Amino acid sequence: MTATATTPPPIHAPTAKEKKYDRQLRLWAASGQQALEESHVLLVIAGNGDVCSGSSVAGVETLKNLVLPSIGNFTIADSAKVTEADLGINFFLTSQSLGQSRAEECKQLLEELNPDVQGHAITTPLSDLLQDPSHLRPYNLIILCAPLPQEQRRIFCEHAQQYSVSLIHVQSAGFYSSFSIQLPSVFPIVDTHPDPDSIQDLRLLSPWPELLAEAKALDDLDKLEDHDHGHVPYALILLYYLEKWKQNNEGKAPDTFKDKTQFRDMVRAAARTDNAEGGEENFDEAAAAVLKTVAPFSIKSGCREMFEKDSCKVINKDSASFWIIAAAIKSFYETHGVLPLPGSLPDMKAKSADYIKLQNIYKSKARKDVAEVAQSVRSMEKKFSRKDVILDGEIEAFCKNAAHVKVLEGSLLPQLRIENGDVQTRKTMLKELQNTETLLPILLAFENGSRSQLDDMIANNGKIDFEALNNQFAEVERVGGRELHNISSVTGGMVAQEAIKIITRQYVPVDNTCIFDGIGGTTLVLKL
Amino acid sequence: MDSPQAVNGMESRARWKYLDSILSTKSPYADPDYIPGEDVITFLESSRVLVIGAGGLGCEILKNLALSGFKDIHVIDMDTIDVSNLNRQFLFRQSDVGKSKAEVAAAFVESRVPGVKITPYNGKIQDKDEDYYMQFKLVICGLDSIEARRWINSTLVSMVDMEEPESLKPLIDGGTEGFKGQARVILPTVSSCIECQLSMHAPRAAVPLCTLASIPRQPQHCIEWAHIIAWDEQRKGDVLDTDDPEHITWLYKTALDRAKQFNIPGVTYSMTQGVVKNIIPAIASTNAIIAAACCNEAFKIATSCAPYLENYMLYTGDSDASGLYTYTFAAEKKDDCPVCGNLAQTIRIDPDMTLGEFIASLAERAEAQLKKPSLRTESTSLYYQAPKQLEEQTRPNLEKKMRDLLTDGEEVAVSDQALAIDFRYKLVFER
């Protein structure tokens, strides 16, 4: 049945590239690596004021953390010349860089980190770059180092939105930093890397015939020899006792918490204890799994929201392949009341052959479900005469992760919405400002001139801790835009993680704002 | 690499303009007694600090300290540079492979940041004594070994002399795994130490030997079988070197054969390497976050310009709910900590287990994690790993039941040569 599974892969010692990137390939695999290597990141730094370092170090540190894992290309747009003060905070400059173009110098020293990466520098003023928005087309991620002249920031954000390019706005000064992400209006993620403990899906309350037959084949557990009894996989133990439970409870499975604890006791009591160990490991595993696995199938909010989007409900010839598969899975769900089976089976105490047999029951059901979804994908392709055929692998990956798929919806950068006086953003901010220990005032203090707007908004609000708020404003004012290397380096690490998530379309990026406080050692993530 | 500006040691302060400015004004969060200005800067420059580890975290830490105004930095690492380090250990190049990490890293940062002195030591932390550690203002660890952390922790705790405030060396520790990491600040004897927090870093449960030997189900089981059982049986006398490609290939093929026999899919070369070398995924960005968070604490402690972390920050960059989150909390000091507490830890045991079984269980207990412990009661030696004679003398006890060796509630002293600590356990019988 699983011929492919047992054919040994050709022995291939890892290539030089696999060796070099081994520690990260274990996280995002070859597919993530390929996406990184095909990417081109633009870093934008505003021209130099002599007092303020313009978050340039946070930006360059971000690039360092992207060059090392091997993004394909990066470009630094920065018209400033290197000053002595730059040398005290920026590791990617040397004493010889003084007076030279900061973009060129940083580009060169960053390139040294990884011969696989190509760097570029744009040294003309940003206004030149912005004259023709098509100049921004080669980039699939734009990182803005704040502060930037408001007008220029707006142009970058609007172009990014227009071309569905992700953009990150970063600011770092003194002990504080923040970043906000502007994602494209639709940003679907299939491979969200959920916590491995949360992905178990055994379908014990909705077993398909082959699985149920396997439990029935146990016949009478009590008659098994001790050795066999101690090696029945816990999934089958639970199925077996669920049938017994149903017989005594009008055909109903345990439902309430009380039912489930009773059911757990029933399973536990069935373990044989007259042995050297005083119990059976497989029954311990079964009892421990009751609360988590004996539950009716339910879909998570991320998936439900996806189904409710118009793009999922209405498919046409221009629909992205993501939405075609999503629609196929939606129709699968509507037909069967469950999502396609992911097909993985956690390890459990069992004899090898029994476990492998059970594993294959799960796998073949998963393949069957994928085939059904694929069929409806193909019929949609045909119906709309789509030219590009959706790959089987894409359908399979989607089915496997269906329960954890997420669709994020990006909107204009929050800082611009604040500038615009957007009502919803204001509301969200007001609510957040009432939380004790909020870090939101830091972001507002970073936004020049927002204090008066803020004071109007919060005047006489008894729920706001004004002392905390004033301290945060005072601290931002005290450091006057000067970066501390450590804080910019923390920030460069955080932003690089987010950039990797966005570029690889794996893991879930921050939606949409994060503020870091290096005094308290805390962060705030919020959707503004 | 010296620039005209830096010749003759007359380095201008212009380079440190931003730092000086931040240290010359007072934060609303600073202690009321804090006086900003030149003295703070002088103190920072004269603070000698020690960095343990010049790997993923260490490279970042050295860069960060050099750009935070520290001028006298020492670094210890016993490793040499491997090609798989290059995706994150950014002070190293292809041409450095095989050289000492501590030496290459120190030389690189010294040449990039004029005026900073970095003294490398290519060796083990255990080579150095208390006099050596006493010279530092604080210690920053960027290690992947729990054992080394425990060693330096207990050394720093034992150095504290209440009469001499200078003998208390703050320990700042960072660690990462994939997108996650932690930074913590430890004031030896004053706040929760690494040993107090040991149970938060529980070792992964080992797969039972009988599963490996007779009922493998996962590809990892087949690899562990090749690693732990087949190697010793089939390649008697060969010392396994997990860096030797021939050895890994042998394990891989052996595991693959076993997997085939049981119809288990999924054994790969990469997985074999991962299992036998216990490889933890590591990326530049996480190292950057954690190293800089640690150096930020070192900077705040050395200058007092803002309060330091109390005392633990956990960073999770791969949350599928919120993207990322941090959890910052004060880990508690434990009265029964074997290193910084003064009470014996209570352990509940089955009196019918043998001493040998008890010793094996110490390796897995989250709060102990002792691999080669020796045990004694106040009156007798229960088991000693060394010297040989004493080992032979005490070996028969391994088969005896605990109830025949001890009374209920008796205290046992446990030592492990890998660690500079004596553990005290009160063993309470329980069935």
Tell me the pLDDT tens digit for each residue of A213-224. 999 999 899 999
* Boundary (domain end) residue, out of A259, A293, A327: A293
pLDDT band, residue B9 (cuts 50/70/90) = very low
Answer whether A84 sits within 8 Å of B285, measured CB to CB.
Answer: no
Q: Are A169 and A474 in contact (CB under 8 A)?
A: no
Nearest to B281 among A24, A486, A501 (CB): A24
User: Quick one: angle between helices A102-111 and A56-67, nearest 10?
Assistant: 30
Are both A451 and A373 inside the same structural domain?
no
Do A511 and B285 count as a contact with CB atoms less than 8 A apart?
Answer: no
Shared-domain flag, residues B171 and B39: yes
Q: Which residues contact B236 (CB under 8 A, 6 or more apart)?
A: none
Asked whether the beta carbons of residue B87 and residue A406 sit closer than 8 angstroms, the reply is no
Q: Give the domain range for residue B174.
A: 4-178+282-309
Side chain identity, residue B41: I
**In this structure, are residues B156 and B136 in contact, taking their beta carbons and an 8 Å threshold?**
no
pLDDT tens readout for residues B81-93: 999 999 999 999 9
Q: Is residue A465 part of a domain?
A: yes
Instruction: Report how far residue A63's alpha carbon sits from residue A41's, in angstroms, rounded to the nearest whole number.
Output: 8
Q: Please tell me which residue of chain B has the smallest CA distance to A25.
A: B281
> Following DSSP, what letter does each residue of B47-98 receive, concatenated?
-EEEEE--SHHHHHHHHHHHTTT--EEEEEE--B--GGGTTT-TT--GGGTT
Share the mean pLDDT of chain A.
93
Q: Is residue B364 part of a domain?
A: yes
The pLDDT of residue B419 is: 79
CB spacing of B289 vs A494 below 8 angstroms = yes
Q: Is A404 on the interface with B (CB under 8 A)?
A: yes
Least confident of A23-32, A124-133, A276-285: A124-133
Average pLDDT over residues B1-21: 67
Of A494-503, B324-333, B337-346, the one with minimum mean pLDDT is B337-346
- Determine whether A334 is exposed, middle or buried from the number of CB atoms within 10 Å of its CB (0-12, 13-18, 19+): exposed
Residue B265, domain CATH: 1.10.10.520
Of residues B1 and B287, the one with the higher pLDDT is B287
Q: Residue B108 pLDDT more than 80?
A: yes
pLDDT cut 70: percent of chain B above it: 97
Q: What is the mean pLDDT of residues B311-322?
A: 96
Contact between chains at A521 and B88 (C-beta distance less than 8 A): no
Residues A46 and A132 in one domain: yes
Closest residue to B28, CB basis, from A65, A347, A474 = A474
- Per-residue pLDDT of A360-385, as tens digits, reads 999 999 999 999 999 999 999 999 99
Give CA–CA dist A504/A410, Å, rounded: 17
Give residue A247's pLDDT. Answer: 94
Interval B359-383: pLDDT, tens: 988 888 887 888 888 999 888 889 9
On whether both A178 and A233 belong to a single domain, the answer is: no
**pLDDT tens digit sequence for B118-175:** 999 999 999 999 999 999 999 999 998 899 999 999 999 999 988 889 999 999 999 9
Selected residue with higher pLDDT from B201 and A352: A352
| Residue B419 belongs to domain with CATH number | 3.10.290.20
> Do strands A176-182 and A187-189 pair parallel, antiparallel, or not at all (unpaired)?
unpaired
Range of weakest confidence among A327-336, B45-54, B62-71, B388-397 = B388-397
Same domain, B141 and B286: yes
CB-based contact B288:A60 (threshold 8 Å): no
The answer on A174 and A29 residing in a single domain is yes
What's the confidence (pLDDT) of residue B378?
84
**Same domain, yes or no, for B108 and B220?**
no
State how far the Cα of B69 lies from the Cα of A355, in Å rounded to an integer.
60
**What local confidence, expressed as pLDDT, does residue B416 receive?**
86
**A387 is a domain residue:** yes
Residues in chain B: 431
From the list B210, B222, B305, B337, the catalytic residue is: B210
Structure tokens at A482: 């000067």
pLDDT over 60 (residue B54): yes
CA distances from B58 to A34, A429, B63, B134 (A): 28, 39, 9, 21
* Cα within 13 Å of Cα(A59), Cβ side: 32
Q: How far is CA A381 from CA A243, A306, A384, A387, in A?
A: 43, 20, 5, 8
In this structure, the answer to whether residues A335 and A390 fall within a common structural domain is yes
Q: Which of the residues A281, A285, A303, A494 would you substitute to probe the B interface, choosing the one with the greatest number of B C-beta atoms within 10 Å?
A: A494
Contact of A412 with A182, CB cutoff 8 Å: yes
* Interface contact A351, partner B, CB < 8 A: yes
Query: Could you tell me the pLDDT band of residue A430, with boundaries at 50, 70 and 90?
Result: very high
pLDDT for the residue numbered A52: 83
Report the b/e string of A372-397 with b at 16+ CB within 10 A: bbbebbbebbeeeebeeebeeebbbb
- Asked if the structure places residue A354 within a domain, the reply is yes
What is d(CA B360, CA B421) in angstroms, rounded to the nearest whole number? 19
Domain that holds residue A58: 17-185+481-526
Rounded average pLDDT over B296-318: 97
Q: Is B178 left (phi over 0), alpha (psi -120 to 50) or beta?
A: left
Query: Is residue B337 flagged as an active site residue?
Result: no
Q: Is residue A7 part of a domain?
A: no
Closest residue in chain B to residue A89, using alpha carbons only: B67
Nearest to B28 among A16, A68, A471 (CB): A471
A191 interface with B at CB cutoff 8 Å: no
pLDDT digits (tens, 9 = 90+) for A450-497: 677 788 888 878 889 999 999 999 999 999 999 999 999 999 999 999
Measured between beta carbons, the chain A residues lying within 8 angstroms of B68 are 484-486
Edge to edge, what strands does the sheet with B410-416 contain? B345-349, B422-429, B410-416, B373-377, B381-383
Q: Is residue A505 part of a domain?
A: yes
Is pLDDT of B63 > 50? yes
- Among A53, A471, A508, whose Cβ lies nearest the Cβ of B29? A471
**Residue of higher predicted confidence among B354 and A459:** B354
Query: Each residue of B173-182: pLDDT tens digit?
Result: 999 999 999 9
Q: Is residue B415 part of a domain?
A: yes
Contacts of B29 in chain A (CB under 8 A): 471, 475, 519
Q: Is the pLDDT of residue A12 over 80?
A: no
Question: Is 50 exceeded by the pLDDT of residue A3?
Answer: no
Chain centroid to CA B133? 17
| pLDDT for residue B11 is more than 70 | no
What tens digit of pLDDT does each residue of A237-266 get?
999 999 999 999 999 999 999 999 999 999
ipTM: 0.94
Instruction: Provide the pLDDT for residue A11.
Output: 62
**Are A124 and A246 contained in the same domain?**
no
Verify that A287 and A242 share a domain, yes or no. yes
Tens of pLDDT, residues A197-215: 788 899 999 999 999 999 9
In chain B, % of residues over pLDDT 90: 76
pLDDT of residue B343: 75
- Dist CA A521 CA B300 (whole Å): 12
Q: Do B325 and A53 touch (CB under 8 A)?
A: no
Instruction: Look at residue A5 and tell me if it is in a domain.
Output: no
Whether residue A5 is predicted with pLDDT greater than 60 in this model: the reply is no
Both B10 and B119 in one domain: the answer is yes
Same domain, A21 and A132: yes
Number of domains in chain A: 4
Name the band, by pLDDT with cuts 50, 70 and 90, for residue B431.
low
Rounded Cα distance between B218 and B266, Å, is 8
Name the pLDDT band for A8 (thresholds 50, 70, 90): very low
Q: Of A155, A156, A188, A414, whose CA–CA distance to A312 is shortest? A: A188
Q: Would you call the peptide bond into A147 cis, given omega within 30 degrees of 0 as the criterion?
A: yes
CB contact under 8 A, B263 and A5: yes
CA distance B353 to B361: 10
Are B133 and B243 found together in one domain?
no
To test the contact with chain B by mutation, choose from A56, A91, A514 the residue with the greatest count of B C-beta atoms within 10 A, namely: A91
Specify whether A399 is located in the same domain as A421. Answer: no
Query: A63 in a domain, yes or no?
Result: yes
- The pTM for the full model equals 0.92
Which tokens go with A217?
């084949």
Per residue, the 3-state secondary structure of A440-468, as one string, reads: HHHHHHHCCCHHHHHHHHHCCCCCCCHHH
A72 Cβ under 8 Å from any chain B Cβ: no
pLDDT for B10 beyond 60: no
Best probe of the B interface among A359, A490, A516, A525, by most B CBs < 10 A, is A490
Residue B311: asked if its preceding bond is cis (omega within 30°), the reply is yes
Q: Verify whether the Cβ–Cβ distance B18 to A192 is below 8 Å.
A: no
A404 CA: distance to closest CA in chain B (Å): 9
- pLDDT band of B204, cuts 50, 70, 90: confident
Decide if A84 and B317 are in contact by the 8 Å CB cutoff. no
Residue in chain B closest to A404 (alpha carbons) equals B320
pLDDT value at residue A134 = 82
Q: Is the pLDDT of residue B8 over 60?
A: no
Assigned token pair, A377: 């994908």
Indicate the residue of B19, B296, B320 with minimum beta-carbon distance to A490: B296
Mean pLDDT of chain B: 92
How close, in Å, is residue B18 to chain A by CA atoms? 6
CB B199, CB B367: distance < 8 Å = yes
Q: How far apart are CA A443 and CA A413, in angstroms?
A: 13
